[in-house]
A and B are shown apart, each in its own frame.
Chain A
Amino acid sequence: MRILVSLICGTLFGAGLYISGMIDPQKVLGFLDIWAIADGGWDPSLAFVMGGGLIVATPIFQFAKKRSDAVCGGGMNLPTNKNITTKLILGGALFGIGWGLVGYCPGPALSALAFGQTDTIIFVVTMLAGMAGARALRLHA
């Protein structure tokens, strides 16, 4: 049951990335280009994706976080770390630079594998290498 839930949630998530246009790095870069606001070249769509996501997710999260167990069994695996650390900010900044260079963050990059493009595959492979390397060096929290 938990595996089926995972598959369905992943599929809904991927469908959301596709419908919202966030699967396209150019759409993401169009949002990150706030410097084009004055010329009318800015695309605020990503803010609406975040907004739509938060409107739906917030009530479910606030309800779920009061529960002690997940509906399909097992506990609620909520993060307990509340520390604002240099690693958190530095890691976010490194991620943001990579995000701004190509326009892919992890979700859309994986979903875009559906298009079968070489550039996307190269990005995903190097991203996985970066994740594995950082974990091997025990850089994760």
Chain B
Amino acid sequence: MENFTPVSALLGGGLIGLASGLYLLLNGRIAGISGIVGGLLAPAKGDKTLVERLAFVLGLIIGPLALMTGTSIEAQSVVTSPLPVIIAAGLLVGVGTTIGSGCTSGHGICGLSRFSLRSLVATLSFMIAGFLTVLVTRHLMGGA
């Protein structure tokens, strides 16, 4: 448990919850990242939410940039998987979140916060699949 960081996890989680709550209260929209991005890729005719979606995605990148340049808070983003695995995983995440109508934010944070049974089922589905995948890659196949 040497990597366990409960305080920063709670604080960061609280910020994510605040962002999601404010987005619904102020703009009337669900802060589901896969939904926000998906709407950018296949815009409906006369969709007025395009700029708002783009602004949200830009913010997702500006937030970390501001913290890494303006504060002493450090973070990293380490990818250890080989290229074919990265490509397969990207496709699976893209296709899966589209078919399943949401990801960790839309189903996990927003869906559970509004007590949606549908989102609870989706969250259990991707959590269990994630646990089993790591069981296979880290323990049954022996590599990380």
Contact = CB atoms under 8 A, between A and B. Distances in A.
B4 to A, nearest CB: 5
A22 B67 CA distance: 14
Interface of A: 2-27, 29-30, 32-36, 40-46, 48-65, 67, 69-72, 74-79, 81-84, 87-115, 117, 119-120, 122-136, 139-141
Given A58-B113, A78-B30, A84 B121 contact: yes
Given A30-B3, A97-B130, 8 more contacts: A12-B63, A17-B60, A54-B112, A69-B28, A82-B117, A96-B127, A98-B92, A107-B103
User: Could you tell me the dominant secondary structure of chain A's interface residues?
Assistant: helix
A99 B22 CA distance: 27
Interface residues of B, number: 111
Contacts of B51: 3
13 contacts: A3-B51, A16-B19, A44-B6, A48-B6, A54-B17, A57-B20, A62-B114, A75-B28, A77-B30, A92-B129, A96-B132, A122-B87, A123-B79
Contacts, number: 504
A33 B138 contact: yes
